[in-house]
Amino acid sequence: MKRHEQGKARVIPVKLRPVDWRDAPFAKLKALPTSDKPVVVSDGHTIDEAFFDVAKGIREALEELLIKPATITDGGQEKVSTPSSFLPDENYLPPAPKKRPRSARERPSSQPSSSSAQQSTEASESLVVADSSVYVKYVCPNCSERCYLGDCTIVSRVNEGMILQPPPHEESQQHYARIHPEPLISSRHIKEMACRSCYNCEFLLPYNIERVNNMRIAVIGDIFSGKSHYIASLVHELQEGHMQEMIRFSAIDDQVTHKYINEYYGPLFLSKHILPRTLPGDAPARDTFRLGTGIERKSLMYDLVIESAASHLTKRVNLMIYDASGEDYISQDRIVKFCQYLFSADAIIFLIDPLTLPGIIAQLPLNFLASLPPYYQGPQIRVPILNTIIQVFDRFNYLEETEHDLFSIPIAVTLSKSDLLQFLPPNRQMRLLMRPPDNNMPDIDTVNEEVKVLFQEYGLQTTIRTLQAFSHVKFFAVSATGEPADSNDRYRNVEPLRCVDPLYWILHQLGVIGVHEAEGLQVAPRSRFWSWLFGKQ
């Protein structure tokens, strides 16, 4: 408090829970949230909205602290001017980007120091300069490039082609917009279903991208591991409400709904037909859903709202699910070229086809194999994509744009097509083949141990050791269809089994669901709130 009174620091009380603090030394200070209601008190707002208000207040305070005093010459005398808040100024110039230290494993920067040049500029220009770390920058869900929301064009979804607000062109206005991107909550914005257009790829960003947490889930695996089938069944299970504590799951826009119905739900659940293989990124003709602008949508985006059973607090996230062809994971070059979303992913669901495990084919009954589609009837080649991804991650961890350690993200190692395991001798009663009564961590822990035993029995000890590169790993078994397809590539019934389990564990790891201390979980060491506060998603 003494440093606060001396102007050397800023004390900002944040009310997390109800407390009597009238006699505290900081009781006279303005607290956050601005509603004067504690964060956990659900009084007309969700916990995400309360933290958004807290983050906005802290960012505004940071702007004041980060503004450097300007030396102004007046009649031969020097005066120091320290503004109390940041406002657009016609004489304002944005600063050069500031390098940020990465981690202990990062190589030291080889760039020469520019402190003397900055001092010269400040003395000669006599301008007010703010630190660029308060810029709000987000990752585009489509091209995976980072963009300033304030530099994006605001367009209408109702009237295609209508520009509601072009990006600012003057430098002072541009800087202000990068710090304070306009929220799309005005009457006109709502009536026009306004959203921002990414200036890198023209993709229409989620309208609430700056107001809620954006969670990117990458589903990866070999060519025939069943990634598309798994995504189809995962979304279907969520839409049917098969997740504990979930109160809403809906597509972020109509285009997501059309893509899911046309490419996933219709062929699999209505026609009961095997989904076509996802084409690689450099295929000459891609039979996939495209946006009206001709841009191919690379992810399925959903609005997910969770309510805690213990505290009854609600959390809201934009859930983004990514799929790609297995061919795009076979080399480092293809991963970098076609799977950029991996480097901003919050979690990975890694599917392993049981038919690639040594010894599985040999133990399946011959009459059963004869009834399967041709690609089931011979041992599949297991591409070592895990090693390839680890090599790329290790290299990309040195990038300044990589805002978190890529090896710290949760990875759900998932045995797909688990329905095939029921045909293996001896006929064991495994929990992974049973439908869980509800999502719960003890049940998931049991399946985790069963899958690790299977990996050890069928020669995947090396894979288990390789996965030690990641800090947070769990093993799962799922079946997207509940049964294998027949020789005509069709299913009698499509009944997904345990498809929600990997996502449920990931949401626990990222702090969206559950009380980790009560369940003995180790939370992934990432502060989602603070990275979001500084616009580093």
- For strands 153-155 and 163-165, give the pairing: antiparallel
- For strands 299-307 and 246-251, give the pairing: antiparallel
Nearest to 441 by CA among 499, 506, 528, 510: 506
AA identity, residue 380: Q
| 49-58, 90-99, 290-299, 486-495, range with the lowest pLDDT | 90-99
Q: What is the pTM of this model?
A: 0.72
CA–CA dist 252, 214 (Å, integer):
12
Q: Which two tokens stand for residue 269?
A: 């659940």
DSSP 407: G
Q: What is the pLDDT of residue 308?
A: 72
pLDDT interval class at 285 (50, 70, 90): low
Which distant-in-sequence residues (6+ apart) come within 8 Å of 427 by Cβ?
none
Q: Which two tokens stand for residue 172?
A: 């002072």
Q: What percent of the chain has pLDDT over 70?
A: 73
| 135-139, 166-170, 361-365, 401-405, range with the lowest pLDDT | 401-405
| 78-87, 420-429, 480-489, range with the lowest pLDDT | 78-87
Which distant-in-sequence residues (6+ apart) come within 8 Å of 488 by Cβ?
none
Query: To 5 degrees, how large is the angle CA 424–CA 430–CA 436?
Result: 130
Longest dimension (CA), the chain: 98
Domain borders along the chain are 1-66, 86-94+123-210, 213-527
Model confidence at 230: pLDDT above 80: yes
Helix (H, G, I), strand (E, B) or coil at 370: helix
> Contact at 8 Å (CB) between 223 and 357?
no
Q: What is the pLDDT of residue 140?
A: 92
* Residues 17-59 pLDDT 10s: 888 877 788 888 888 888 878 887 756 667 777 888 888 888 8
What single string gives the DSSP state of each residue in 54-123? HHHHHHHHHHHHHPPPEEEEETTEEEEE--SS----TT--PPPP------TTSPPP-SPP-HHHHHHHHH
Nearest to 347 by CA among 217, 463, 436: 217
Model confidence at 233: pLDDT above 60: yes
Q: What is the pLDDT of residue 375?
A: 58
pLDDT interval class at 65 (50, 70, 90): low
Q: Which two tokens stand for residue 341?
A: 């979303």
Which segment, 169-183, 232-246, 361-375, 419-433, is predicted with the most confidence on average?
232-246
Q: What is the pLDDT of residue 99?
A: 36
Q: What is the pLDDT of residue 125?
A: 36
CA–CA dist 155, 164 (Å, integer):
5
CA–CA dist 256, 291 (Å, integer):
10
How many residues does the structure list for the chain? Answer: 537
Average pLDDT over the chain, rounded to an integer? 77
> Contact at 8 Å (CB) between 379 and 359?
no
> Contact at 8 Å (CB) between 212 and 177?
no
> Contact at 8 Å (CB) between 49 and 31?
no
Query: To 5 degrees, how large is the angle CA 147–CA 148–CA 149?
Result: 110
Model confidence at 131: pLDDT above 60: no
Model confidence at 536: pLDDT above 60: no
CA–CA dist 417, 394 (Å, integer):
30
Answer CATH for 213-527 from 3.50.50.60, 1.10.230.10, 3.40.50.300, 3.30.1490.190: 3.40.50.300
195 φ/ψ angles, rounded to the nearest 5 degrees: -155, 170
Q: What is the pLDDT of residue 228?
A: 94
79 φ/ψ angles, rounded to the nearest 5 degrees: -125, 145
Model confidence at 311: pLDDT above 70: no
Model confidence at 145: pLDDT above 60: yes
Q: What is the pLDDT of residue 414?
A: 95
* Residues 318-340 pLDDT 10s: 999 999 888 888 888 999 988 98
In this structure, how many other beta carbons lie within 10 angstroms of the beta carbon of residue 29? 13
- R_g of the chain computed on alpha carbons: 26
